[in-house]
Structure 1
Amino acid sequence: MAVSTGGDSGLPGAAAAAVPPAVRTLAEGVLSLRLAAGRSVTLLLVTGTLDARCAPELPEALVAAAGDGPGGGLALDLRGVEACDTAGVAALGRACEHARKEGYAIGLAASTADLDRLMVLTDSLHLVADHLDAGPDPVEQSPA
């Protein structure tokens, strides 16, 4: 099962050198993870396609993103996910569990109705549904 989630963010450029250090790309640019500063947590803006191609890299990428933040937790903003299938949702759930086992608070800040529906249908919403409030206007972190 795959859905188009209606995200309006473009995919990152193909060249890894053109990607700022605060941005991580997975599966050769199919999925992009970008850190932004929230009120009390670090916001991770996720854009692109979330599918099986991202599964091998996603757990360590979430842990690395959580470690890059100032602490307080990592809140996922999934509104930029343009397409997702059941393998992508399962990978996201496993990645969130992995980050929690590593000691990081991780949760969902924002999503789309289609992505929420897919997580409910696959019984995986509870894996990412811890709500973390990142505040109204995230500010992108400057590249380090």
Structure 2
Amino acid sequence: MAVASKILKTIDTSCHEYMHPWVSSCSDASAGVLIHSIQASFRIYVTTYMLTLLMKGRKPTKKELKRTLLGIIQSTAFLSCHAFGFSSFVCLLRRLIGKFNVLSVAFLPCFLTCLVAILIERPSRRGLLSLYVTNVASETFYNMMVNRGI
């Protein structure tokens, strides 16, 4: 029972203190995170997709360039959705529930963000991304539980 009580214990802090200490408004913070995450994601995926094109060792066709551009945009939206969605869901859940707890500060925002983001990415990549993220998530969860003595 001691473990279950730790999960439901409320955390007395505001989203301003926990999620976005640089600005007091949740919407301003989310907008800022969205803008910066789009910029960072775009740089990552332009580099990744262009290196993939260059490694083919031939001049890309117009169709390949179009598919690459659409892939960059779609993958940028996927990664940006993770950053923007997490911060937005943390604030939204705190406003709906009233206070933070372990579920509303980590599990639920991550779950909801991943649910939305995976629908953005290409269906052919969903399985691979799910396996990768599940591995990382389960390792993180295990390490957190060990560190907390649960």
Normalising by structure 2, what TM-score?
A: 0.28
* Higher helix fraction (1 or 2): 2
Greater fraction strand? 1
TM-score (norm 1): 0.28
Q: Which has the larger radius of gyration?
A: 2
